[in-house]
Structure 1
Amino acid sequence: MSQESAHGKWTLSDSDDDDDDVPSSQANNIKTERVEPPKQDTRKTEPLTRKVDSFFHSNTDTTDVKYAPSLVVKKEEEKPSVLVMGSEARQTAHANQQKPMKFESNPSPSVKRKRETEEAGAGWAMSSSDDDDDNKGKGIRAGQQAQPKKAAPVQSSPKRVKKEDTRPPSPHGRTYYIDEPPDYFETSINEETETYRFYLNKVVGLDKKYNTGAVHIREILSPMFGTLKESVQFNYCFDIPWMVKQYPPEFSDKPVLIVHGEKRESKARLIQQAQPYAHIRFCQAKLDIAFGTHHTKMMLLWYVEGFRVVILTSNMIRADWYQKTQGMWMSPLYPLLPEGSPETAGESPTYFKRDLIEYLQAYRAPELSEWIQRIKEHDLSETSIYLIGSTPGRYVGSDMEKWGHLRLRKLLKEHTRPVPNEEAWPVIGQFSSIGSMGLDKTKWLAAEFQRTLTTLGGGGKSVRPEPPMLLVYPSVDDVRRSLEGYPAGGSLPYSIQTAQRQLWLHNYFHRWGAETTGRSHAMPHIKTYMRASPDFTELAWFVVTSANLSKAAWGGLEKNNTQVMVRSYELGILFVPSAFNLSTFRVQKNVFSANEGSSGFPVPFDLPPQRYSSKDQPWIWNIPYTQGPDTHGNIWVPS
């Protein structure tokens, strides 16, 4: 069965929920091979037909694929241990950067045929599992095999061209090829004048003015924010040698605790990375539900002068701090409470202290006990944001509102207020990965998540008609024209297997546009959600979080809405106007303008978002793009 829209035509298949949250380590050292199906299999199967028209909408001939070749999984021979970081999409991006494939405007007939074969076969690595019960019975089930007349021969990928010393001119200027300018780490942050304490990261290759007021990890860990004694790094992906280099020399041997979710081989690789560093310890997060991950990104920093919390969207790897758009919230410097203070002392009006302790306790990890005690001993009363966490589990009763999107719904109900013409105020979601939403919007997006995002105040009544919902996700052309080129898509791991099941979702899509911030060409890894006025000049609330658009991250209702199941650890913060003595947030049109002061809220992309045109396609990482060069003159052929 196939579905068609302006944003692509794919045949529906039964495959895994493949989003940013699913660890790629399960797929390491695995390859697929085409095989002939058994000749005596007489079960009836419906032939799968997919007419492939190019994701660039070219006028090339279309190709009919009459069957989906069956696959067997074969483990590769053991290879020397190498440093593998992040999802399969990120690994593919790294391979493409190491051995780029150059674009040829007039390729030879043999290369052209290979390109067409690659594109025609894109996305047909069929999977036999699915963690979305709504999709069972759709497409190819486990054990079923299509009946082609003859298996197509395996086509090898075009030969990769070795990277040369001379690079093609970059439209972003020669500074694109410079790692960090001499003044890159000069910060202009004045903590005393910061209202929201929400920052973007610095990006190499942008004009200096677009990094004004932005922050790099070296600055966060530098002495200007405190004399560091110990720290904790919570994250999904680590490059430990790189991380250690970000600490200044005077703090480079201070104890660091790494909180991660790695298991088995990937855990062994992580521990191996840390062998040269005696000051690093580990805490493994418990992941008891399949396909859950430890996706939280947070720093706890203990200083001689006090304590600080940083909640962010960046992995602990160089690529995430180089040419991507990331966001972070940095707490004030929390002072030590007077000795003998009661446990309830130092609480904020937003109950941030209580909620942070409760989140850390959910790990059930002895390694975090001393940090919980340190938090209790400090004064967190100057905090003006609310904490939104996700922790793996199945929750009932009042616990349903502790985590995920039901936690956000509760906070919006209690701490926001209705606005005039509320049905015209759109909700906007912006993210870097997408999970399985089901066969239509009623399966989760509209039934649960949109209801949460449209909550304003304690009325509890549903708004009809439904407010507009705008989803911001980069198009293929956004990625192609980015600072990194196609490899930027490695941090946007939306797969063909997931996309082909939910073409209806693509009608919500809007392009990543950030011209006013200068960030249009720095692909987003930040995740934000908000409610905006019809003219996009005001916000009713704003969230920055590690949580992408997925049930694994935000939770999904079960058992006739009496239970919520959350798969992953996530962490984010909610800004509401009432915590800042405002009725709404005024949108700051130019995030890096010194003239607007700090009263405006710094939205990291342009408002209103631009809807996909009929020629736009959402970026999908595991299909080739060969008909147009990126900013480095390369094409994208995932291996």
Structure 2
Amino acid sequence: MEYTKEAVGVANKRKLKDNKSSAEAEGIILGKESQKLDKISDLENEESVRPKKIIRNSVSTIRKCSYESPKKEETKLASNDNRPRCKYGRECYRKNPQHFKEFSHFGEEPLNKKSRLDTNDMESPSSSTQNNLTPKVMKESHPSFGFYLTKVKGLAPEYNQHSALDLKDIFSLTKAKLKASAQFNYMTDIPWLMKQYPAEYRSCPLLIVHGEQRGSKSALEKAASVFPNITLCNAKLEIMYGTHHTKMMLLLYDSGLRIVIHTANLIENDWFQKTQGIWISPLFPSLLGEQSAHRGNSATNFKGDLLEYLSFYNRPDIDEWCKHIKGHDLSNSSVFLIGSIPGRHLAERKTSFGHLKLRKVLNLHGPEKSLVTSSWPLIGQFSSIGSLGTDQNQWLCGEWLASLGTVKGCSLTSKTPLQLVFPTVNNVRESLEGYPAGTSLPYSINVAKKQPYLRNFLYQWKSDRLSRSHASPHIKTYLRVSPDNSSVAWFLLTSANLSKAAWGVLEKNGSQFMIRSYELGVLFMPQYLVSRKVFGVPEVKERKANMETISFPVPYDIPLIPYSNKDEIWIWDIPHIKAPDRHGNKWCPPLPRT
């Protein structure tokens, strides 16, 4: 199967060939401009082939199946645009802002003589941004949690004021003066990102850590060259098909350090009409006296784990940020850090990353077996599914579930129910974005055919309580819930999707642990946050006797709704033409060539 379009999948942009081993790729990869791709099979689709801008009824990633050529519209646009036309037109899949500077596309507003890289055209943060940071934000999300969702355009105002932030809000959370920042991410639109910073901070030093390779790396470098304050840092990806998927901000102020871990790419579409998750740390104060990895640490070892994670990049620019972290007091951080670093990890390092790190934390600090029994379901919610193997007991219900099913002192795997939340075709079709939302939910037909057992675990995406049932999920969360759906034992917000590449897989009879990608998340444990054994579930009125709880703001409705017999799992590389989406479009992906 071959494709002729360029897409923005994995950062390394390698050609993916048929691989009958357990190798997965974090993203569907469609190579350089005029190249065709070799067969894609047994590989993981991690991120999306998303257009930078979605315009109603004129979407670059889809077309109406009975579509007439819009000659009048194209002529009108061409008359106002001096750029040559992209040969892929409305079906261009690029993410590179420089490409949109040089070529015009039907359905896009003309740029005339202005460039997307023109720094003089940047907007100042509106006053409404500050006004939205009301005390209601902290009432919905308990102050100890620091957990938020992103704002969603098109919702009633009350759903964007309670525990919801956009990127400009994050940069405006404190009156302290920003001195420097670092952005770790998978996809970055530099001109758009710079617009999100307050005007007075757009010249502050900014480090962008990425995993781009070849052409996309050159494009990122070209975009960054317009901004003299930006330094690029390329994360090493030494294992094939790995990606730099971590999404983190380090914000250094004159009065402290703030850390933000989230699930959104630094592109406009990810902050528009999707459900994304954000954890925002307190403003950590400077340490007086000796700077150390041990001083100013917390009971959760957050500082130590963050420094260990960053040290594996082995980059001088990141080492400078490690010095900043050592110089601050992180003792009031109440979450655990769960990260993934590419490599084949041996001995003690096996349990430093991936699902084995989560297993270790739960084994040491997790819920008691007397409280959380094997009957407590494990919920996984994600936006991409990788190649998990033909036998569900091999990885999914084997080593991975053994880790997530761990309680203090032991693992509970034999009877742990597994519930996996992934959108149905109707979830995508009825979303605010319509079918284009499906480009952020990569699950390929070739992979799906080889793991039909997944159907037994599937549940719909539904978030009526937060009015986000139609805000397509790009958030990734994992939690342990009681059988009566009244209590949550722990909650994990992470960049890691359901894949071996992200979570890791044991090799050589368990003697080594292989991870392909960089990932990062935070684990919320009730005893460290609210001095309780469990969190409550929002809007669950009936509680167990003698169990006073504080609810954790789970971003979807519990109890979950299982797939019905008529529900189909969303697969992004096959047609969906039974019904149009809310914008009148049907999903007709490019047909493969034989």
Q: In which range does the TM-score fall when normalised by the shorter chain?
A: 0.7 to 0.9
Q: Distance in 1 between matches of 2:586 and 2:383?
A: 21
Q: Counterpart of 1:102?
A: 64
Q: Counterpart of 2:309?
A: 359
One of 133, 152, 156 as aligned partner of 1:187? 133
One of 531, 537, 541 as aligned partner of 2:486? 537
CA contact 2:129–2:168 (8 Å) conserved in 1? no
CA contact 2:377–2:481 (8 Å) conserved in 1? yes
Q: Counterpart of 1:146?
A: none
**Deviations 1:446-474 (Å, cap 9, x if unpaired)?**
1111111111111x25454x121000000
The SS at the match of 1:441 is coil
Note if 1:392 corresponds to 2:342: yes
CA contact 1:19–1:493 (8 Å) conserved in 2? no
Q: Percent identity?
A: 46
Q: Counterpart of 2:84?
A: none
* Aligned residue identity for 2:387: S
Q: Counterpart of 2:434?
A: 485
What's the TM-score, normalizing by structure 1? 0.74
Shift of 1:210: 1.0
Q: Structure 1 29/222 Cα, relative in aligned 2: closer, same or farther at 3 Å?
A: farther
* Aligned residue identity for 1:565: M
* Aligned residue identity for 1:516: R
Q: Counterpart of 2:258?
A: 308
Shift of 1:101: 2.6
Shift of 1:293: 0.5
Q: Distance in 1 between matches of 2:260 and 2:419?
A: 28
Q: Counterpart of 2:559?
A: 608
Note if 1:586 corresponds to 2:536: yes
Matches within 5 A, 1:493-532: 493-532=442-481
CA contact 1:15–1:497 (8 Å) conserved in 2? no
Note if 1:633 corresponds to 2:593: no
Q: Counterpart of 1:198?
A: 147
Q: Counterpart of 2:354?
A: 404
Q: Distance in 2 between matches of 1:574 and 1:209?
A: 28
Q: Counterpart of 2:234?
A: 284
Q: Distance in 2 between matches of 1:509 and 1:240?
A: 37
* Aligned residue identity for 2:338: I
Q: Distance in 2 between matches of 1:598 and 1:420?
A: 14
Q: Counterpart of 1:109?
A: none
CA contact 1:103–1:628 (8 Å) conserved in 2? no
Q: Counterpart of 1:433?
A: 384
Shift of 1:18: 9.3
One of 539, 542, 551 as aligned partner of 2:500? 551
Matches within 5 A, 1:324-403: 324-340=274-290, 343-403=293-353
Q: Distance in 2 between matches of 1:509 and 1:424?
A: 18
**Which 5+ residue runs of structure 1 have no aligned equivalent?**
1-12, 33-70, 74-85, 106-160, 166-179, 591-596
Shift of 1:497: 1.6
Q: Counterpart of 2:9?
A: none
Q: Distance in 2 between matches of 1:342 and 1:528?
A: 32
Q: Distance in 2 between matches of 1:72 and 1:210?
A: 44
* Aligned residue identity for 2:379: I
Matches within 5 A, 1:56-455: 89-91=49-51, 97-98=59-60, 101-102=63-64, 183=128, 186-189=132-135, 194-211=143-160, 212-222=162-172, 224=174, 226-340=176-290, 343-416=293-366, 417-420=368-371, 422-455=373-406
Q: Counterpart of 2:74?
A: none
One of 20, 24, 27 as aligned partner of 1:22? 27
Q: Distance in 2 between matches of 1:394 and 1:207?
A: 48
Q: Distance in 2 between matches of 1:88 and 1:574?
A: 26
Q: Distance in 2 between matches of 1:576 and 1:523?
A: 27
CA contact 2:491–2:525 (8 Å) conserved in 1? yes
Q: Structure 1 19/208 Cα, relative in aligned 2: closer, same or farther at 3 Å?
A: farther
Q: Structure 1 340/93 Cα, relative in aligned 2: closer, same or farther at 3 Å?
A: closer
Q: Counterpart of 2:78?
A: none
Note if 1:562 corresponds to 2:511: yes
Shift of 1:343: 4.9
* Aligned residue identity for 2:210: H
The SS at the match of 2:501 is helix
**Deviations 1:488-543 (Å, cap 9, x if unpaired)?**
00110111121111111122111001111111000000000000001111111110
CA contact 2:24–2:241 (8 Å) conserved in 1? no
CA contact 2:275–2:471 (8 Å) conserved in 1? yes
Q: Structure 1 496/100 Cα, relative in aligned 2: closer, same or farther at 3 Å?
A: closer
Q: Distance in 2 between matches of 1:254 and 1:469?
A: 46
What's the TM-score, normalizing by structure 2? 0.79
CA contact 1:432–1:526 (8 Å) conserved in 2? yes
Shift of 1:324: 0.3
The SS at the match of 1:549 is coil
The SS at the match of 1:542 is strand
CA contact 2:340–2:518 (8 Å) conserved in 1? yes
Give the length in aligned residue pairs.
500
* Aligned residue identity for 1:518: S
Q: Counterpart of 2:79?
A: none
Between structure 1 and structure 2, the one with the greater Rg is: 1
Shift of 1:397: 1.4
Q: Structure 1 398/14 Cα, relative in aligned 2: closer, same or farther at 3 Å?
A: closer
